[in-house]
């Protein structure tokens, strides 16, 4: 499964071996949890075989389903990048085989795939708000804190990252 993923296509044989070494496989029976809301995020998951559903229970007792994850699909990168507790449950809808990539391997792989990544992101504060589920005003205040700390600059229609390591460790 790893060899067939789009991100593995550009890896050298040595880098692919390292990615494979940092990934384990596990079987999850139908109805079993691949991961649970509130647990620490230690893996990036890929469905090798089977089908899973990402959902979250509300305090009202209702369940909100976010997406289905079929064979070949990967999930959990957002929580991995934010270094926060998992915000959702993922349950196998049928017997499934799952690839579990360790956090260290995921972060290394991210650096391998984007070594000279452009430091400017063309995105408006309103768009950041849509992605984060908060108002543009709240995004503006948060970006101002990060800008004052020297981690980034903001300009019309974009954000330029000045200190990626600082951003990664901010608030942690």
> Which residues touch 29 (CB under 8 Å, ≥6 apart)?
92, 95
Look at residue 165 and tell me whether its pLDDT is greater than 60: yes
What domains lie within the chain, and their CATH numbers? 2-112 (2.60.120.10), 120-169 (1.10.10.10)
**DSSP code at position 51:** E
pTM for the whole structure: 0.66
From the list 87, 64, 63, the residue with the least C-alpha distance to 75 is 87
Q: Alpha-carbon distance 144 to 30, whole Å?
A: 46
Model pLDDT for residues 41-84, shown as the tens digit of each residue: 999 999 999 999 998 877 777 777 778 899 999 998 888 888 78
- Which of 38-42, 66-70, 167-171 shows the lowest per-residue confidence on average (mean pLDDT)? 167-171
Mean pLDDT over residues 72-100, rounded? Answer: 90
Q: How many CB atoms lie within 10 A of CB 58?
A: 8
Predicted pLDDT of residue 121: 81
Per-residue confidence band for 37, with pLDDT thresholds at 50, 70 and 90: very high
Token couple for 82: 């934010």
Considering the chain, what is the average pLDDT of its residues?
A: 87
Predicted pLDDT of residue 3: 84
Look at residue 36 and tell me whether its pLDDT is greater than 90: yes
Sign of the CA dihedral with 135 first, then 122, 69, and 33 last = negative
Predicted pLDDT of residue 117: 55
Angle at 167 between CA 84 and CA 14, to 5 degrees: 80
């Amino acid at each position: 499964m790893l060899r067939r993923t789009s991100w593995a296509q550009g890896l050298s044989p040595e880098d692919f071996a390292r990615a494979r070494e940092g990934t384990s496989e596990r079987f999850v029976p139908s109805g079993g949890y691949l991961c649970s809301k509130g647990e620490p995020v230690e893996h990036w998951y890929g469905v090798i075989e089977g089908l899973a559903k990402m959902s979250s229970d509300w305090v009202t007792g209702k369940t909100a389903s976010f997406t289905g994850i079929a064979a070949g699909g990967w999930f959990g990168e957002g929580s991995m990048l934010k270094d926060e507790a998992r915000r959702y449950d993922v349950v196998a809808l049928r017997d499934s085989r799952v690839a579990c990539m360790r956090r260290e391997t995921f972060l290394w792989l991210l650096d391998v795939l984007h070594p000279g990544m452009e430091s400017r992101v063309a995105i408006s504060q309103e768009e950041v708000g849509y992605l984060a589920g908060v108002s543009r005003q709240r995004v503006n205040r948060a970006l101002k804190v990060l800008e004052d700390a020297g981690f980034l600059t903001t300009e019309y229609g974009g954000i330029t990252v000045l200190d990626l390591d600082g951003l990664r460790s901010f608030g942690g």
